[in-house]
Amino acid sequence: MKIKLRTVAKYAAALLVAVSVLAPMGWLFLMSVSATADLTRVPLEWMPRQWDFSRYGRLLSLTPGEPGTLFLHALGNSLLVASGATAICLLLAIPAAFSFSRYRGRDGWLFASLAIYMVPPVAFVLPLYFLLQQLDLLNTRPGLMMVYCSLILPFLTWMLKNQFDTLPHDIEQAARLDGLRVWQVLLRITLPLAKPVLGAAALFGWLLAWDEFFYALLFTSNIAAQTLPVTIAGFTAGRATDDGLIAAVGILASAPPLLIAIWLQKTLVSGLASGGSKG
């Protein structure tokens, strides 16, 4: 009997957790496919009387006057900025992580870079603003890419260093004795071995950039460089009375990170522990 009770409690708790996660997100999706009249009905009927996917069509069309013009630009900016920043950071973080891992005695720098990455962005934002202004990079995608490097670099370096630490050194040393240079060893031996984590770490960095809002809000001013989070915040605060449309934008903006997270399940934890949190 006691065993039975435990089992019931277990399944009840599991159901509660599942519903609490799925209900708000499910409702967001239902909103995006319900007619506005259904959404504003009191009492609310929850299920749409008619499934209406037309908002997604409008968001994905470049016809002038449609919300798609705003949305697709922001989507393009987000993709480009996140991918560009991640690519630059990989180029910088791989040699740095290799150095931290193979040559002892500089860990202070690694900890310092991780520590400063956690300082509130309000402490950097004014000088960065002036810097971008002087370089003529305000409201540009390269400007945002540059700023995002400060977010992605520290923990990408940290994750890669931890990975390099677990690889065997003796092959590398043998290769060095055979006359290979350091960068040849890194490219031909170490990187191929670290490949699985390399991809995961890069995606992690990509997620951080995809999610960033504060700098994007202050350093962009129109569709030339505005990323999705800024556009969503604008939609939400605007006079757009169609909540279903806002919900549809949210669904589309969430699809890439949700898929990546499901795919990365296994490596997620090591990334999280190295400070890859998304406030």
Partner 1 sequence: MLSLRQREQRQAWVLLAPMLLVMLLLTAWPLLRTIWLSFTDAALIGSSGTAPGWIGVENYLYALTDEDFRTSLWRTLYFTVVSVAVEGIIGVLVALLLNQQFAGRSLLRVLVILPWALPTIVNAMMWRLNFNPDYGSVNALLTQTGLIDHYRSWLGSPDSALNAVMFADVWKNYPLVTLLVLAALQSIPEDLYEAARLDGASAWRRFRAITFPAIAGALSVALVLRTIDAFKIFDIIYVMTRGGPVDSTKTLSFYVYQESFSYLRAGSGAAYAILMTLLCAVLITLYMLLLWRQRRRGSAHEN
- 9 vs 47: CA distance, rounded Å: 30
Site residues (CB under 8 A) for partner 1, limited to 172-211: 182, 207, 210-211
Q: Which of 70, 79, 92, 193 binds partner 1 (CB under 8 A)?
A: 92
Helix/strand/coil (H, E, C) string of 28-83? HHHHHCCCHHHHCCCCCCCCCCCCCCHHHHHHCCCCCCCCHHHHHHHHHHHHHHHH
Interface positions, 117-136, toward partner 1 (CB under 8 A): 117-128, 130-131, 133
Q: Which of residues 96-115 bind partner 1 (CB under 8 A)?
A: 96, 98-100, 102-103, 106, 109, 111, 113-115
Least CB distance to partner 1 at residue 248 (A): 11
Min CB(15)–partner 1 separation in Å:
9
| φ, ψ (nearest 5 deg) of residue 275 | 90, 10
Least Å from the CB of residue 211 to partner 1: 5
CB 136 within 8 A of CB 73: no
Beta carbons of 145 and 221 less than 8 angstroms apart: no
Q: With contacts defined by CB under 8 A, how many residues of the chain interact with partner 1?
A: 97
Choose between 62 and 273: whose C-beta lies nearer to partner 1.
273
* Shorter beta-carbon distance to partner 1: residue 65 or 238: 238
Min dist. Cβ of residue 74 to partner 1 (A) = 11
The CA distances from residue 121 to 18, 117, 154, 214, 226, in Å, are 34, 9, 15, 8, 18
| Tokens found for residue 65 | 């006057």
Task: State how far the Cα of 46 lies from the Cα of 61, in Å rounded to an integer.
Answer: 28
Name residues contacting partner 1, limited to 61-90 (CB under 8 A).
none
Residues 131-160 that bind partner 1 (CB under 8 A): 131, 133, 138, 146-147, 149-150, 153-154, 157
Q: From residue 145, how far is each of 4, 59, 150, 152, 255 by CA, in Å? A: 56, 25, 9, 10, 22
- Which of positions 233-252 make contact with partner 1 (CB under 8 A)? 233, 235-237, 243, 246-247, 250
Identify residues 29-58 at the interface with partner 1 (CB under 8 A).
31, 39-44, 46
